Chain A
Amino acid sequence: MGLNEKPLSTLHEKASYDLADFEVPTGREEAWRFTPLSRLKGLHNGQAAASGQVVTQVYTPEGVRAEWVGRDDERIGKAYVPADRVSAQAYNGFEKALVVTVPKEAVPGDAITVEIKGNGGEGAAYGHIVVVVEPMAQATVVVQHEGSAVYADNVEFVVGDGATLKVVSLQDWADDAVHVSHHHAQLAKDATFRSFVVTLGGDLVRLSPSVSYTGPGGDADLSGVYFVDAGQHLEHRLLVDHSQPNCKSNVDYRGALQGEDAHAVWIGDVIIRVAAEGTDTYELNRNLILTDGARADSVPNLEILTGEVAGAGHASTSGRLDDEHIFYLQARGIPFDEARRLVIRGFLGQLIEKIQVEELRERVMNAVEAELAR
């Protein structure tokens, strides 16, 4: 290694469209060690029959195009190359992809909504979505998952020069659903990306939001809340790959866990490559462990390959409800259960406040409320 060379990143270097390039995970790999493979219903080892179905419906405001296209459409796979075995499986398994285009400079008045609904049944389903926001356009996309399914998909967000994309992704699956998903955002020069992930339902959800930059000045904010009940495995694996100068990223995920074998996993990987001078990044994960028997694994990784960063940091905390908070509320007559709800709602609500569209914010808050009332 010469003097001016920095080591290459060790995080997420593998990417391929070809399923054969990925070995079947055994559970010992860094990328799979937290995921209970036996509950993936064969998504990871080729044993899932591709006979499952989800119904995908898309609502577009005026000026936005939505098309169902064949596998050979050139817009597919341009921004994202599958980074693990299940992602490659999904990439090779979908029949038609949904391509949504927000034309140059368009500012649609309403959100684009994509509803993905599982109707139970046997086998796995695969999907692919591409959202292209052309230069200077501004759009909001809501992706909503519900019902029962074994579903793996890849979602590409292509955000053009100076464009803004806000995404809310709600995983409100039925108790038996399995969902493995990659959400990749590619940010051009001065693009803005806001992602808000809400994961509440499902037996196993493994969602991997990632961000890459193709020009300077990109700004990504990735937030998420999750509520893990007994027996659920909810995993979020974030990767922000800073390869361009003067870009920003901020990651903030918060979760509450309760019940026997409630398991949350949060991986926050940030790479700041040699060229990414002036990068400003911060990542944070906070877990509220409400009962015994629940477990949160939280692993931030910050890999800095340049000397010139504007700011880089991370933090991760996992803790119990604060007795003093509960005591204070109870001392004012508020019963324990309600005091607890107020504090949890406050903890998650502080993040939910970030959703600027009021209607969406309320929808997310209501989903969390419903979860708390269970």
Chain B
Amino acid sequence: MSTLEIRDLKVAVEDKEILRGVNLTVKAGETHAIMGPNGSGKSTLAYAIAGHPKYTITGGEVLLDGVDLLELSVDERARAGLFLAMQYPVEVPGVSVSNFLRSAVTSVRGEAPKLREFAKDLKSGMDALAIDAAFAQRNLNEGFSGGEKKRHEILQLELLKPKIAVLDETDSGLDVDALRVVSEGINRFRASGETGVLLITHYTRILRYVKPDFVHVFAAGRVVEEGGPELADKLEAEGYEQYTKASA
């Protein structure tokens, strides 16, 4: 059973300290929601765990099943079982979705999937997320609408089958139908009980479909309160004001 442990993580961007000691443990079978105001450092946490070069780790540890992720390159982290669905997925011109997915699946599995099998998996994955088959030939994320990009992030999640998924505002920009479709994808991923999810969001909307076990409130670069699902409802009703005041 997998475990992601974030211990006293401190992160700076261009000499500005953003994360000021984050502690969080996500175990297989658990879903954790992180909620917090704009600019509180949620994406910073997600990118820093994934190894984005813009973020400098100034302290702490991130362990996946005891392996120090911070020692690994970005691709090694992904192959170790970490997945980050990005808040703003990047457009990559000239690289087709199908080519990209095949390369990614090959890298993560350590061997090329059989062509027919892959084609089948891809098709059923796309069908399940109501993604038109034509997207396979399009350039990665290029010209995709916000919602289409998010669906493709979940398609990748389902194809790559990581141990721990960090989903950064996967729900934002989705209409009601897309939210349902995407949530179902996340739930399929959770269904085995062997995977952990860290779900970053501003809204309780998605939490009605993807039930969290724990809710963490993020403010000014650290976790300031933790609780069960009921905490999300409280946040929705009362907002973040008390936390931002407290941390200021």
- A336 CB to nearest chain B CB (Å): 7
Q: Do A334 and B95 contact each other (CB < 8 Å), given the known contacts A327-B74, A328-B90, A339-B75?
A: no
Residues 64-93 of B at the A interface (beta carbon under 8 Å): 73-75, 77-79, 84, 86, 89-90, 92-93
Q: List the B side residues contacting A327 at CB < 8 Å.
A: 52-53, 74, 90
Tally the A-B contacts, defined by beta carbons under 8 Å.
77
Interface segment, A10-18, A40-48, A342-350?
A342-350
**How many chain B residues touch A (Cβ–Cβ < 8 Å)?**
28
Tell me whether B78 and A332 are in contact (CB under 8 A). Answer: yes
- A337 CB to nearest chain B CB (Å): 10
Q: List the A side residues contacting B77 at CB < 8 Å.
A: 331
Instruction: Determine which residue in A332, A335, A343 has the highest number of CB atoms from chain B within 10 A of its CB, and name it.
Output: A332
Tell me whether A346 and B94 are in contact (CB under 8 A). Answer: yes
Tell me whether B92 and A350 are in contact (CB under 8 A). Answer: no
Q: List the A side residues contacting B156 at CB < 8 Å.
A: 332
- A166 CB to nearest chain B CB (Å): 22
Chain A residue with minimal CB distance to B74? A330
Residue B145 CB within 8 A of the other chain: no
Tell me whether A343 and B107 are in contact (CB under 8 A). Answer: no
Residue A329 CB within 8 A of the other chain: yes
Counting chain A residues whose Cβ lies within 8 A of the other chain, the interface size class is 20 to 34
Chain B residue with minimal CB distance to A349? B94
Residue A5 CB within 8 A of the other chain: no
> How far, in angstroms, from A178 to B75 measured CA to CA in the complex?
41
Q: List the B side residues contacting A67 at CB < 8 Å.
A: none
Q: Do A347 and B104 contact each other (CB < 8 Å), given the known contacts A327-B74, A333-B78?
A: no
Residues 165-209 of B at the A interface (beta carbon under 8 Å): none
Tell me whether B89 and A350 are in contact (CB under 8 A). Answer: no
Residue B118 CB within 8 A of the other chain: no
Tell me whether B95 and A335 are in contact (CB under 8 A). Answer: no
Tell me whether A342 and B100 are in contact (CB under 8 A). Answer: yes
Q: List the A side residues contacting B108 at CB < 8 Å.
A: 332-333
Instruction: Determine which residue in A324, A329, A347 has the highest number of CB atoms from chain B within 10 A of its CB, and name it.
Output: A329
Tell me whether A346 and B73 are in contact (CB under 8 A). Answer: no
**Which single member of A323, A328, A345 contacts B89 (CB below 8 Å)?**
A328
Chain A residue with minimal CB distance to B140? A328
> How far, in angstroms, from A16 to B156 measured CA to CA in the complex?
61
> How far, in angstroms, from A231 to B77 measured CA to CA in the complex?
36
**Which single member of A328, A335, A336 contacts B92 (CB below 8 Å)?**
A328
Chain A residue with minimal CB distance to B139? A346
Q: List the A side residues contacting B92 at CB < 8 Å.
A: 325, 328-329, 342-343, 346
Tell me whether A328 and B93 are in contact (CB under 8 A). Answer: no
Residues 106-154 of B at the A interface (beta carbon under 8 Å): 107-108, 139-140
Residue B11 CB within 8 A of the other chain: no
Smallest CB-CB A-B distances: 4 pairs: A346-B94, A333-B78, A330-B74, A332-B104
- List residues of A whose CB falls within 8 A of some B CB: 323-325, 327-336, 338-339, 342-343, 345-350
